[in-house]
């Protein structure tokens, strides 16, 4: 037994997957196609997708935001977890999101997904300008890491009271713990982790699943800076 988080070995990981993963066959197919790309490491892990779907379901979400689409896994997970609802999906890459659209159609979920091809900051600013603050049930941040803080701040504005915002890759392959690592992405994630920990505007938890996932929910109104 352990009072710290169990160190993951391949054997335990395989047991974990074999005894917990219930992946839709279309998601499995999407993962197989994505695995052929040299960029495939960017895709979320299936057990993480299942956790996101669980959160979306218990929230009874009908309005979610997916920042960083890639080949569409997290958007599809969100759409499938909402019997009725809409995902606004942000990305700048046409080639990868073409694959995404193919699988959203295969899974009969494309009518729930509104893909916005533009820098995500622009899309978020437009949503704020359109008066959509405090309206999103669930937000997933998983695009370029150098803008994480900007996504976090805009996400907090867009998130409804009681909603959940999830930030991916917060452990960044362990590099955040290596203080000699001053890479731009590592630093951006490390700075955001520090900020979220101290942010009295939110209740937070960090889950060491996949590459690390932080969950936040807003504390009482009004929303004031940390």
- Residue 143 within binding range of ligand SAH, rule CB under 6 A: yes
- For the segment 182-211, give every residue that binds ligand SAH (CB under 6 A): none
Part of the chain binding Ca ion (CB under 5 A), chosen from 142-150, 154-162, 186-194, 197-205: 142-150
- Sign of the CA dihedral with 112 first, then 74, 137, and 59 last: positive
Query: CB of residue 134 vs Ca ion: minimum separation in angstroms?
Result: 26
Closest CA to 144 of 180, 181, 192, 102: 192
2-10, 64-72, 128-136, 187-195 -> range binding ligand SAH (CB under 6 A)? 64-72
Among 51, 59, 82, 90, binds ligand SAH (CB under 6 A): 90
Cα–Cα distance, 212 to 67 (Å, whole number): 17
CB of 224 to ligand SAH, least distance (A): 27
Question: Shortest distance, CB of residue 79 to Ca ion, whole angstroms?
Answer: 18
What the block records as the tokens of 9 is 């070995």
The stretches of the chain forming alpha helices (DSSP H) are: 10-18, 25-34, 46-59, 73-80, 94-106, 120-129, 148-158, 184-198
Considering the rule CB under 6 A, would residue 33 count as an interface residue with ligand SAH? no
Q: Which stretch binds ligand SAH (CB under 6 A): 38-46, 107-115, 206-214, 217-225?
A: 38-46
Are 127 and 161 spatial neighbours (Cβ–Cβ below 8 Å)?
Answer: no
The least CB distance from residue 144 to ligand SAH, in Å, is 3
Gap between the Cα atoms of 111 and 86, Å rounded: 8
Ordered DSSP codes for 78-144: HHHT-SS-EEEEEES-HHHHHHHHHHHHHTT-GGGEEEEES-HHHHHHHHHHTT-TT-EEEEEE-S-
| Binding residue (CB under 6 A) for ligand SAH from 92, 207, 210, 223 | 92
Shortest Å, Cβ 211 to Ca ion: 6
Is residue 119 involved in binding ligand SAH (CB under 6 A)?
yes
Closest to ligand SAH by CB, 53 or 202: 53
**Span from 20-28, 63-71, 185-193, 200-208 in contact with ligand SAH (CB under 6 A):** 63-71
Angle between helices 25-34 and 73-80 (to 10 degrees): 170
**Binding status of residue 120 toward ligand SAH by CB under 6 A:** yes
């Amino acid at each position: 037994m352990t009072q710290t988080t169990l160190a993951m070995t391949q054997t335990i990981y395989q047991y974990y997957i074999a005894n917990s993963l219930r992946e839709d066959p279309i998601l499995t197919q999407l993962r197989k196609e994505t695995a052929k790309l040299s960029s495939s490491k960017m895709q979320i892990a299936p057990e993480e997708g299942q956790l996101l779907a669980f959160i979306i379901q218990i929230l009874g979400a009908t309005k979610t935001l997916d920042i960083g689409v890639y080949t569409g896994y997290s958007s599809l997970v969100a759409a499938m977890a909402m019997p009725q609802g809409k995902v606004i999906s942000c990305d700048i890459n046409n080639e990868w999101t073409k694959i995404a659209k193919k699988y959203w159609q295969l899974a009969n979920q494309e009518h729930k997904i509104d893909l916005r091809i533009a820098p995500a900051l622009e899309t978020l600013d437009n949503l704020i300008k359109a008066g959509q603050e405090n309206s999103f049930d669930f937000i997933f941040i998983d695009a370029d890491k150098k803008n994480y803080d900007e996504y976090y701040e805009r996400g907090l504005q867009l998130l409804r009271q009681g909603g959940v915002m999830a930030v991916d890759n917060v452990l960044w392959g362990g590099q955040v713990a290596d203080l000699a690592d001053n890479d731009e992405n590592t630093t951006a994630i490390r700075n955001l982790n520090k900020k979220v920990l101290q942010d009295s505007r939110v209740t937070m938890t960090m889950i060491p699943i996949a590459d690390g996932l932080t969950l936040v929910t807003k504390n009482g109104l009004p929303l004031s800076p940390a």
